[in-house]
Structure formats: C-alpha cells, structure tokens
Amino acid sequence: MKNQTLENLINEYLDQVKKATDLLERIFGTKNILRLWHSKEILQRGRVTDDVSYELHGVGCRVYLSEICVDFDYGPNERVDGFDPWRLYMYACEMPRKYKKYTDKTALEQDFSKYIAQGKAKRLIDSTSNLYFLKP
C-alpha cells in the first residue's frame, strides 16, 4: 500500500501536531498550554472549538481534532516537532488502513531504529527528553 513508509508517517504526524498546536495558540495564545493548566487557568480537559477538544497529561497533550486524535509531548524550549516510536504507533493506529504496517509496534520499532541509524532524526544532546527531532 502506498504511503506506508515511516517517513510519511512521521511527516503526517508532525503536520497534525502543527495543526493542533496552531489551533491551541490561536485560542489560548500559546502552543504550550501546560503552564495554563498548572496555574489553573484552564482545566486538564476541555474544548477548543465545537468539534475539537484537548486533554493534558504529564509533559504533553492529546488533541481530538474532528478527523483524528493526535498525542504529543512538549519538547525542550516548548518545541512541538518531536516524536518517538510510541506516539507514531498511536497515530498509525488512528489510521490503520493507511499505516497498517505500523499498527504492529515491533515493525514500527524496527523501522524506527533503522531510520535513526541512517541519521535522519536525533535526540537533542542537552535534553532529558525522549523525543527525536528531524535533522535539518
């Protein structure tokens, strides 16, 4: 099936995270709404629009867009362009017809390891985050 490459999955996931965080920024004035939750300015779960809701957790957020759910962690310096195998797996499970191969966690982890070994993404050296970021 076309579009079953890990690179397509990563790019689509990051596009959806951008869509979600752009909406959060438009509504709340910031992409990273964790601070608002911690200061009790917003609830842990709530509505962004009539058909979009959010749920904050740990260092991340789950946004239920009208067409898909995207779960992401905020990275160092409030970055939102990070990913890890678990988040990609959950995203693939949201779209099993498009990313059937990656609804198998072992297959995803194997391809992810190869992707990292090829130097296409890396962790930030000075970070405690488990997130990977695409190399420029």
Report pLDDT digits (tens) over 25-68.
999 999 999 999 999 999 999 999 999 999 999 999 999 998 89
In the chain, what percentage of residues exceed pLDDT 90? 86
Q: Is 70 exceeded by the pLDDT of residue 3?
A: no
The whole-angstrom separation of Cα 37 and Cα 57 is 10
Q: Which long-range contacts (CB under 8 A, 24 or more apart) does 63-67 make?
A: 63/20, 63/23, 63/24, 65/16, 65/19, 65/20
Contact 62, 85 (CB under 8 A): no
How many other β-carbons are positioned within 10 Å of the β-carbon of residue 24? 21
- Confidence grade of residue 4 (pLDDT, cut at 50, 70, 90): low
Give residue 78's pLDDT. Answer: 85
**Helices within the chain (DSSP H only):** 6-28, 34-38, 85-94, 105-117
pLDDT value for 2: 47
pLDDT of residue 129 exceeding 90: no
- Mean predicted confidence (pLDDT) in 11-16: 97
Region for 33 from its dihedrals, namely left if φ exceeds 0, alpha if ψ lies in -120 to 50, beta otherwise: alpha
Q: Cα(45)–Cα(30) distance, rounded to whole angstroms?
A: 16
Six token digits for residue 123: 């962790």
Residue 1 predicted with pLDDT over 50: no
